[in-house]
């Protein structure tokens, strides 16, 4: 990936660390939650889809959008808030 990678770490009940990374859908689109939508930003009807990781990261960093990410252990997809994301270089 040519851009800084957003990442989130969560400790599982087993003690293992699960890492979350942006997860595009089957069509290669990144799903984002608009912070202006408040408590319903996670609903699919309120999602914003973008075709590039660069645009997705711009919206996360500059406007506080959430991004759909997948855990490397559980495979679970979650909408992760901008303030919970660390950017790896």
Residue 19: which domain range? 5-81
The answer to whether residue 78 scores a pLDDT higher than 70 is yes
Query: Can you tell me the mean pLDDT for 6-16?
Result: 80
35 part of a folded domain? yes
What does the alpha-carbon distance between residue 3 and residue 61 come to, in Å, rounded to a whole number? 13
Q: Report the share of the chain in percent with pLDDT over 90.
A: 52
pLDDT at 2: 42
For residues 63 and 36, the answer to whether their CB atoms sit within 8 Å is no
- Return d(Cα 88, Cα 73) in angstroms, integer: 19
Assess contact for 4 and 84: CB atoms under 8 A. no
89 in any annotated domain: no
Q: Work out how many domains the chain is built from and give that number.
A: 1
Q: How do residues 35-64 score in pLDDT, each as one tens digit?
A: 998 888 878 888 999 999 999 999 999 999
Q: How buried is 13 (Cβ within 10 angstroms: 0-12 exposed, 13-18 middle, 19+ buried)?
A: exposed
Residue 63 placed within a domain: yes
pTM of the model: 0.82
Does residue 87 belong to any structural domain of this protein?
Answer: no
Cα–Cα distance for residue pair 18/10, rounded to 1 Å: 5
């Amino acid at each position: 990936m040519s851009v800084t990678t957003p990442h989130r770490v969560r400790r599982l009940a087993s003690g293992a660390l699960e890492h979350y990374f942006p997860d595009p859908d089957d069509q290669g689109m990144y799903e984002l939650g608009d912070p202006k939508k408040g408590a319903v930003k996670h609903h699919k009807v309120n999602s914003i889809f973008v075709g590039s990781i660069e645009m997705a990261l711009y919206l996360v960093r500059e406007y506080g959008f959430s991004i759909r990410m997948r855990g490397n252990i559980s495979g679970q997809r979650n909408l992760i808030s901008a303030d919970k994301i660390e950017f790896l270089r």
